[in-house]
Structure 1
Amino acid sequence: MAKVVFTAGRVSGFRCAPDKAQAFLWDVTAPGLGLRATNAGKPAYIFQSRYQDKTVRLTIGSPDVWSIEQARTKAKDLQRLIDIGKDPRDVKRANLQAKAAKQAVDATNALTVGEVWTVYLAARKPHWGERHYHDHSVLSRAGGEVAQRGTRGRKVTIDMPLAPLLAMPLRDLTTPVIESWAATQATTRPTSARLAWRLLKAFLGWCAEQAEYAPLVAGGNAAKSKKARESLGKAGIKQDALLKEQLPVWFDAVRHIQNPVTAAYLQTLLLTGARPGEVLGLRWDDINTKWRGLTIRDKVEGTRVIPLTPFIAQLLASLPKRNEWVFSSTTADAGTLTIPRNHHTAACKVAAIDGLTLHGLRRSFKSLTEWLEIPAGVVAQIMGHKPSATAEKHYTVRPLDLLRVHHEKIEAWILEQAGVSFDSAIEPGKLRVVAG
């Protein structure tokens, strides 16, 4: 092989003859260093030598990137590997694998809380109820969106409790960071922050079970901190519920709400003891007039069937059937009523009842049944609470007709205390309720 001293002119001017597939130029200074050119591409520095009686050839790189001295140094390094009994191809392969592994580790280390949070929500969504998924989505929402309502005059939304954590690397979500976050959130919105903290603990527990994320949360669940828990405090026990004496004024105020769908929704909440979202999700297909049952989409068990009591049957039969939803709306995009907290607050103000929430109506149902000495298991089954004793879980099965006996008794008593009378014998939809 002809050898020359590589110079800038010789390297830049080297070409492959048109009648050949490739051509080589070899350097005198660095043994094994060559320049290979083809008709199809640009020249490239190469290294060629013998290893275990076989020819070894590796590409070093383009002259546009490598200087002559850099190429010579690289060729000498490769020859040195052969001299000590190493195949430079194996060394190159190992280096590439190590580089790829390092890049993978670096990429994993750079994963943000938000990136993994998105994966977490997608993985867990099939196992969660709609409300539980909604909580995760809302509490991690970033602010800055233009809004006319609920912004206290700012006209833009603010970050939700988990949003400040999403941009940081997951590996940096340490106990001190979470404790500082908890202390900050507790000063402005402790209730939502407590829920966000519980969601965060479950998220980090899930990360610890995933092989790709476990190294980032090694050392235990950073959110399980006594200091963080103490900063957020304990949730107060809710006491809002209707008293027996308040039933007349509450029913009168609610029934004077201009929107009959809203009025029916609120009365249904009280008389079924269901959760606000469960009642809002009622479809016409969920009403079984033959067997007088209501199918409730339950966040605990999936669905439960409760009695369709006479007053509720007449109340629902009077509503317009605009679409699939029982409590429909002509203005909402989803076609269903949005939870009417403002309407209820206004009605309670008219009735001079302070602090009664929509969930307080569910609490009211439970409280009012105490006057009738209804079996606790019956009330729990109607409301969708989990059984609290072994006998309830495994041995007590109450069919719909047995529940109906008690539920109709509850409804009749509440309406009697409220001064509302109606004729249950008249076909639902034909009678208008009157105050007694």
Structure 2
Amino acid sequence: MARPSKTAAIDYAAAHDLTHGLLERAICPPDRPFVLVKDADKKGLRLRVTKAGGKHWQFETRMKGKLITRALGEWPAVSIADAKAEAHRLRGLTETGIDPRELEHQQQAAQAAEKAAAAAHAVTVGEVWAIYLEARRPRWGERHYSEHLLLVKAGGVPSKRAAGGVTAPGILHPLMALPLRDLTTPVIEAWAEREAQTRPAAARLAWRCLKAFLSWCAEQKEYAPVLAGVNPAKTKKARESLGKAGVKEDALLKEQLPAWFDAVRQLQNPMIAAYLQTLLLTGARAGEVLGLRWEDINIKWRGLTIRDKVEGTRVIPLTPYVWHLLAALPRRNDFVFSSLTAAGGCIAIPRNPHHDACAVAGIDGLTVHGLRRSFKSLTEWLEIPAGVVAQIMGHKPSATAEKHYTVRPLDLLRVHHERIEAWILEQAGIVFDAKAEPGKLRAVN
């Protein structure tokens, strides 16, 4: 048979011995969207030529009655020899019952898994910690979230209050630069032993947070392969190094009330004096009282809405003396215990002023949180029902009857709470007319 002329028209219905010249001459007629130049050697291989001049390799065959088409690349970037070789490989797969598409999907999945494993193997504790915080934030309160940020802060920020003039790094910050794979049991045990020497209480809290973090990591498919299978923070040695928290017993005695009130009321800052007295007389947590806003005070029904860290909010009675203290404060922003200089708009927990007041009163070791403990302890003198005190303080009910059957409205709580306040003031030697009208709220520019 004579060789076809290099200038002869190409019969696109027939198969051809593919050559460079043949493919160069292949063009799509104007009346068709595309034409196929079929290979006579490798069944299913063809070059798709479009009206726009594009030339792309294709392999086409049928498998179990279904048409399979695979793109092999553009000519001449993919040569005739390479296209034939790939067509030969695909033909071999289909003839043995292997779908090349499924094979590619499996290979891609394996590559993606390998890439993810490599990324997880190189990821640092700090990077995963940030992801952990964002994942858990919807289920946490803002304070709990902020405390986790403080655990890993870098420090080094200028501060007049900090030792050395700059803030110290967070207790977990030294671990953040480590690859997650290197956060092993020996590393955590060494950290626990080191931190227990200087700040054991803070280290115990950080250790609990670290255990929760690593438990979360073990539940994530990206990070579980990096961990050894057992939470590396759950070790006996770390627990022994950190020790057990001692039972705190700092609380005001009944006999100490006159001296404590006298010293606190003489503090130069009336905002701090009112804050400390409110803490004692409500039994609320230090942060809960700091978060009080003017909108939380219900004058009509004499209620005080507390932003509870456990239940969200709780309403307690607005007792006469506490309302007397709050009404006398200037209204400078939304916060009751406001500050014009603090970034958050309210004062910080006044631990140093309280310590100074206790020193004047001759009371040793009484912390700000000890005022909450004092409220609970002092109610024992009055034999107030335990459920009433727990509800005022925001403690969860401890019995089935309390949890499901006892409902105490605000007016019933007020009967007991006003009795508690009156008794504490009486023991402190403070003369106060509970029926006197509190001072009006003053707006301060």
Q: Residue 291 of structure 2 contacts residue 307 of structure 2 at CA under 8 Å; is this kept in 1? A: yes
Is the aligned partner of 1:136 residue 2:136? no
- Larger deviation: 214-223 or 329-338? 214-223
Q: For 1:47 and 1:161, locate their aligned partners in 2 and report how far apart those are by CA, in whole Å.
A: 58
Query: How far is 1:114 from its partner?
Result: 5.4
Q: Residue 185 of structure 1 contacts residue 193 of structure 1 at CA under 8 Å; is this kept in 2? A: yes
Paired AA for residue 172 in structure 2: P
Q: Residue 283 of structure 1 contacts residue 325 of structure 1 at CA under 8 Å; is this kept in 2? A: yes
- Larger deviation: 229-238 or 411-420? 411-420
Select the residue among 307, 310, 327 that pairs with 1:297: 307
Q: For 1:312 and 1:207, locate their aligned partners in 2 and report how far apart those are by CA, in whole Å.
A: 46
Query: How far is 1:35 from its partner?
Result: 4.6
Query: How far is 1:143 from its partner?
Result: 0.9
Matches for 1:6-45 after TM superposition, within 5 Å: 16=27, 19=30, 21-22=33-34, 35-40=47-52, 42-45=54-57
Paired AA for residue 89 in structure 2: D
Query: How far is 1:123 from its partner?
Result: 4.9
Give CA deviations for 1:406-431 in whole Å, capped at 9, x if unaligned.
4334333433443332333321228x
Give CA deviations for 1:374-430 in whole Å, capped at 9, x if unaligned.
444433332222333445445555444444444334333433443332333321228
Q: For 2:417 and 2:197, locate their aligned partners in 1 and report how far apart those are by CA, in whole Å.
A: 43
Matches for 1:33-432 after TM superposition, within 5 Å: 35-40=47-52, 42-47=54-59, 57-62=69-74, 66=78, 70-82=82-94, 84-86=95-97, 90-100=99-109, 102-104=111-113, 106-107=115-116, 110-111=119-120, 112=123, 117-118=129-130, 120-139=132-151, 141-143=152-154, 146-149=157-160, 151-153=162-164, 155=166, 157-161=168-172, 164-165=175-176, 168-169=179-180, 175=185, 178-206=188-216, 219=229, 221-394=231-404, 396-429=406-439
Select the residue among 1, 17, 24 that pairs with 1:3: 17
Paired AA for residue 278 in structure 1: E
Paired AA for residue 85 in structure 1: T
Q: Residue 5 of structure 1 contacts residue 28 of structure 1 at CA under 8 Å; is this kept in 2? A: no
Query: How far is 1:275 from its partner?
Result: 0.5
Q: In 2 relative to 1, CA 166–392 (structure 1 residues): closer, same or farther, beyond 3 Å? A: farther
Q: For 2:71 and 2:336, locate their aligned partners in 1 and report how far apart those are by CA, in whole Å.
A: 73
Query: How far is 1:274 from its partner?
Result: 0.9
Q: In 2 relative to 1, CA 115–426 (structure 1 residues): closer, same or farther, beyond 3 Å? A: same
Query: How far is 1:278 from its partner?
Result: 1.3
Give the 3-state SS of the residue equivalent to 1:153 in structure 2. Answer: helix
Give CA deviations for 1:269-294 in whole Å, capped at 9, x if unaligned.
11211101111122233333344332
CA RMSD of aligned residues (A): 4.0
Q: For 1:300 and 1:273, locate their aligned partners in 2 and report how far apart those are by CA, in whole Å.
A: 15
List gaps (5 residues or longer) in structure 2.
1-14, 441-445
Q: For 2:257 and 2:395, locate their aligned partners in 1 and report how far apart those are by CA, in whole Å.
A: 24
Q: In 2 relative to 1, CA 124–49 (structure 1 residues): closer, same or farther, beyond 3 Å? A: closer
Paired AA for residue 107 in structure 1: A
Give the 3-state SS of the residue equivalent to 2:304 in structure 1. Answer: strand
- Larger deviation: 39-48 or 310-319? 39-48
TM-score (norm 2): 0.76
Give the 3-state SS of the residue equivalent to 1:60 in structure 2. Answer: strand
Query: How far is 1:200 from its partner?
Result: 3.5
Q: Residue 28 of structure 2 contacts residue 49 of structure 2 at CA under 8 Å; is this kept in 1? A: no
Q: For 2:203 and 2:26, locate their aligned partners in 1 and report how far apart those are by CA, in whole Å.
A: 70
Q: In 2 relative to 1, CA 208–77 (structure 1 residues): closer, same or farther, beyond 3 Å? A: same
Query: How far is 1:136 from its partner?
Result: 3.1
How many residue pairs get aligned? The number is 422
- Larger deviation: 377-386 or 174-183? 174-183
Q: For 2:246 and 2:224, locate their aligned partners in 1 and report how far apart those are by CA, in whole Å.
A: 35
Q: For 1:180 and 1:67, locate their aligned partners in 2 and report how far apart those are by CA, in whole Å.
A: 61
Q: For 2:168 and 2:93, locate their aligned partners in 1 and report how far apart those are by CA, in whole Å.
A: 63
List gaps (5 residues or longer) in structure 1.
431-436
Residue in structure 2 matched with residue 434 of structure 1 by the alignment: none
Q: Residue 17 of structure 2 contacts residue 41 of structure 2 at CA under 8 Å; is this kept in 1? A: no
Q: Residue 5 of structure 1 contacts residue 27 of structure 1 at CA under 8 Å; is this kept in 2? A: no
Paired AA for residue 119 in structure 2: A
Query: How far is 1:268 from its partner?
Result: 0.5
Between the aligned residues of both structures, percent identity stands at 61
Q: For 1:11 and 1:263, locate their aligned partners in 2 and report how far apart those are by CA, in whole Å.
A: 97
